[in-house]
């Protein structure tokens, strides 16, 4: 759809309803309609991995300790879970999704974004396509999905959560504000229970209440989170659906120098350049890196590699560069000239560190926006249009 010359994206957030439980119900239809909890031994220390809608009526939800779930509903059926089987079902769900678009971003076993922009001619109107997808998943795999459709990922996700179970909701272009503003503020992904309580004390109950607050005030009260809230409450999200597969095991960049070098500053700037190239690809694939490996080949053709593994995955140039340069400084001696410099990013993950609440999330979110901006300019004007100070020495 084109609006004022801007191509509006059509993004689906497809989320299976009570996925683990639904799979168990397909395998044993006698479970249908009963309070079923997947998560293991109710006498053990585990937590609920999934609860059927019948179980949720007793106040049971995922991540609740199993012992508590048992107190709330002693006659519930507790299952340990069959994780290999869930993987099989998940693959079958994704097979259906991939028929409809090459841009399917897997968020977990049972949840994905599907970008249908430009697929009208092929599949017809987006709402009908969503219905077909839902019906096909039900027919082929046997489980129910809910689907949110909107012009960006944030709104699509809010929409699918809103219509669960078995719902489809399309937020038509122009209706975003009308949909979002009456919702409780906790519906914004990233606003956790703690922030929710804090908002309540401030008299902010709905997303609309939040929108009514001036940006300056949000920034004053919430610091860096203020801008994040400002954007999210208005339904603004620029993150693209990334169809890249996670199985690209590593991202590597290396370069053989035109002449062998013993100049530490030159070698470090080369390294900085390589880090930026690798990190740009990392972010374009919506991935985070845990392990950074430096590779050096000396003029006598000896190759050494040195790795460092981070506690928290990152996608930020300066974090990766600091690791790389520390590895370099530990390794480099001026005795033998260097012939080749390389950097490799591995242990790639889809998630950054687990952040459940907004206040820890914001600085990352903002930095993501910054880097997305940098990457956009680079893809338009060429990589060298933006380089770090250190990289410039290479010119
Ligand atoms: Mg789900």
| Counted domains in the chain | 4
CA distance 38 to 15: 18
- Residue 366: the pLDDT is 57
Domain boundary among 82, 108, 127: 82
CA distance 65 to 153: 31
- Residue 388: the pLDDT is 52
User: Domain holding 132: CATH number?
Assistant: 3.30.70.270
User: Domain holding 187: CATH number?
Assistant: 1.10.150.20
**How far apart are the CA of 16 and the centre of ligand 1, in A?**
4
Q: Which pLDDT band holds residue 360 (cuts at 50, 70, 90)? A: very low
Asked whether residue 281 carries a pLDDT value surpassing 60, the answer given is yes
More confident residue, 46 or 201: 201
Q: Do 202 and 328 lie in a common domain?
A: no
Interior/surface letters 330-352, b for 16+ CB within 10 angstroms, e for the rest: eebeeeeebbbbbbbbbbbeeeb
Residue 374 included in any domain: no
The segment with the largest mean pLDDT, out of 35-44, 167-176, 239-248, is: 167-176
**How far apart are the CA of 161 and the centre of ligand 1, in A?**
9
Q: Which residues contact 198 (CB under 8 A, 6 or more apart)?
A: none
Domain boundary among 233, 266, 299: 233
Q: Which pLDDT band holds residue 368 (cuts at 50, 70, 90)? A: low
Q: Do 220 and 309 lie in a common domain?
A: no
Q: Which residues contact 36 (CB under 8 A, 6 or more apart)?
A: 21, 24, 25, 51, 52, 54, 55, 76, 77, 79
Asked whether residue 4 carries a pLDDT value surpassing 60, the answer given is no
**How far apart are the CA of 184 and the centre of ligand 1, in A?**
20
CA distance 155 to 173: 11
Mean pLDDT (whole number) for 163-184: 93
- Residue 45: the pLDDT is 66
Asked whether residue 154 carries a pLDDT value surpassing 90, the answer given is yes
Q: Do 261 and 346 lie in a common domain?
A: yes
**How far apart are the CA of 293 and the centre of ligand 1, in A?**
36
Q: Do 128 and 7 lie in a common domain?
A: yes
- Per residue in 63-94, pLDDT (tens digit) is 788 889 999 999 999 998 887 788 889 999 99
CA distance 72 to 233: 35
Q: Report the percentage of the chain scoring pLDDT > 90.
A: 42
Q: Report the percentage of the chain scoring pLDDT > 70.
A: 85
Asked whether residue 356 carries a pLDDT value surpassing 70, the answer given is no
213: Cα within 13 Å, side-chain hemisphere? 23
Q: Which residues contact 244 (CB under 8 A, 6 or more apart)?
A: 284, 285, 286, 287
User: Domain holding 35: CATH number?
Assistant: 3.40.1170.60
Residue 369 included in any domain: no
CA distance 94 to 112: 8
Residue 370 included in any domain: no
**How far apart are the CA of 355 and the centre of ligand 1, in A?**
19
Q: Do 137 and 187 lie in a common domain?
A: no
**How far apart are the CA of 110 and the centre of ligand 1, in A?**
5
Residue 272 included in any domain: yes
Residue 271 in contact with residue 254, Cβ under 8 Å?
A: no
Lowest mean pLDDT: which of 34-38, 58-62, 152-156, 383-387? 383-387
- Per residue in 284-296, pLDDT (tens digit) is 777 888 899 999 9
**How far apart are the CA of 19 and the centre of ligand 1, in A?**
6
Q: Do 56 and 161 lie in a common domain?
A: no
Q: Do 198 and 328 lie in a common domain?
A: no
Locate the DSSP E strands across the chain: 2-3, 6-7, 11-16, 36-38, 50-51, 77-79, 104-108, 111-115, 145-150, 168-170, 250-261, 288-298, 303-314, 338-349
CA distance 238 to 55: 37
**How far apart are the CA of 112 and the centre of ligand 1, in A?**
10
More confident residue, 250 or 24: 24
Q: Do 45 and 108 lie in a common domain?
A: no
Lowest mean pLDDT: which of 158-162, 251-255, 290-294? 251-255
Average pLDDT for the chain: 83
Q: Which pLDDT band holds residue 325 (cuts at 50, 70, 90)? A: very high
Residue 340 in contact with residue 255, Cβ under 8 Å?
A: yes
Q: Do 27 and 133 lie in a common domain?
A: no
User: Residue 326: which domain range?
Assistant: 250-362+382-392
- Per residue in 231-251, pLDDT (tens digit) is 889 998 888 887 655 445 788
Q: Do 351 and 257 lie in a common domain?
A: yes
Asked whether residue 168 carries a pLDDT value surpassing 60, the answer given is yes
Q: Do 289 and 347 lie in a common domain?
A: yes
Domain boundary among 82, 100, 124: 82
**How far apart are the CA of 312 and the centre of ligand 1, in A?**
26
Q: Do 218 and 289 lie in a common domain?
A: no
More confident residue, 109 or 181: 181
- Residue 371: the pLDDT is 65
Neighbours of ion ligand 1 (CB under 5 A): 15-16, 19, 110
**How far apart are the CA of 15 and the centre of ligand 1, in A?**
5
User: Domain holding 318: CATH number?
Assistant: 3.30.1490.100
- Residue 247: the pLDDT is 47
Residues serving a catalytic function are 111
- Residue 6: the pLDDT is 56
Residue 115 in contact with residue 122, Cβ under 8 Å?
A: no
Residue 117 included in any domain: yes
Residue 376 included in any domain: no
Q: Which pLDDT band holds residue 387 (cuts at 50, 70, 90)? A: low
Asked whether residue 262 carries a pLDDT value surpassing 60, the answer given is yes
């Amino acid at each position: 759809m084109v609006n004022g010359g801007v191509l509006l994206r059509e993004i689906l957030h497809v989320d299976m309803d009570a996925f683990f439980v639904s799979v168990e119900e397909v395998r044993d239809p006698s479970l249908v309609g009963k309070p079923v909890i997947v998560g293991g031994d109710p006498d053990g220390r585990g937590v609920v991995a999934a609860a059927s809608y019948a179980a949720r009526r007793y106040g049971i939800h995922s991540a609740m300790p199993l012992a508590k779930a048992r107190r709330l509903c002693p006659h519930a059926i507790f299952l340990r879970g069959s994780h290999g089987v869930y993987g099989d079902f998940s693959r079958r769900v994704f097979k259906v999704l991939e028929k409809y678009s090459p841009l399917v971003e897997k968020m977990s076993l049972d949840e994905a974004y599907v970008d249908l922009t430009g697929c009208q001619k092929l599949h017809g109107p987006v709402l009908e396509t969503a219905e077909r997808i839902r019906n096909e998943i039900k027919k082929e795999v046997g489980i129910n999905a809910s689907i949110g459709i909107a012009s960006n990922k944030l709104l699509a996700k809010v929409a699918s959560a809103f219509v669960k179970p078995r719902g489809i909701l399309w937020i038509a272009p122009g209706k975003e504000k009308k949909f979002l503003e009456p919702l409780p503020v906790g519906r914004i992904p990233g606003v956790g229970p703690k922030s929710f309580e804090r908002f309540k004390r401030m008299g902010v109950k709905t997303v609309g209440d939040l929108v009514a607050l001036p940006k300056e005030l949000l920034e004053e009260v919430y610091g860096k989170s203020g801008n994040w809230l400002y954007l999210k409450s208005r339904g603004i999200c620029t993150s693209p659906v990334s169809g890249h597969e996670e199985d690209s095991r590593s991202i590597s960049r290396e370069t053989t120098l035109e002449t062998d070098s013993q100049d530490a500053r030159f070698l470090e700037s080369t390294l900085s350049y390589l880090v930026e190239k690798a990190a740009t690809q990392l972010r374009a694939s919506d991935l985070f890196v845990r392990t950074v490996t430096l590779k050096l080949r000396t003029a006598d053709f000896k190759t050494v590699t040195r790795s460092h593994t981070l506690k928290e995955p990152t996608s930020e140039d300066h974090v990766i560069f600091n690791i790389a340069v520390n590895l370099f400084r530990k390794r480099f001696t001026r005795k033998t000239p260097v012939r080749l410099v390389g950097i490799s990013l591995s242990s790639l993950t889809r998630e950054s560190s687990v952040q459940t609440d907004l206040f820890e999330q914001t600085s990352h979110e903002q930095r993501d926006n910054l880097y997305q901006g940098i990457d956009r300019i680079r893809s338009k004007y060429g990589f060298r249009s933006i380089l770090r100070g250190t990289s410039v020495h290479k010119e």
